[in-house]
Amino acid sequence: MQLATLRPLSIIGLAATLALSACSRELQPEKAMYTVDEYLAKPDVMATKLHECANNPGELRNNPDCVNVKEAVKRQGIGSLDKLRPLKLSTPGAATAEPDKGSQRSR
């Protein structure tokens, strides 16, 4: 091949290589600034971030901080499951309570 033909081909090859390498770069996932526990420990920061996320849910729905602050609000509302008292459920065969007479329909 002639030198005049090789030059444009090498430029095209270099441009294609650069374009492919730029496209194949993986974007670093966005990291949250605060964990759920940190938001719970800082109510003022939590309130500010919650307002920001609620004001722009279209763009921030999957933002790591918005996910964390929403989870913190849920935990704050119901509390941690570790802190719940045990349910006192009756065991099978235990004495059953009589049905409430006020809940029966009169005919």
Q: What pLDDT score was predicted for residue 11?
A: 73
Rg (CA), the chain: 31
- pLDDT tens figures, 49-97: 999 999 999 999 899 999 999 999 998 887 656 666 777 888 777 655 5
The Cα 58–Cα 62 span in angstroms is: 9
Above 90 in pLDDT, residue 48? yes
Above 60 in pLDDT, residue 8? yes
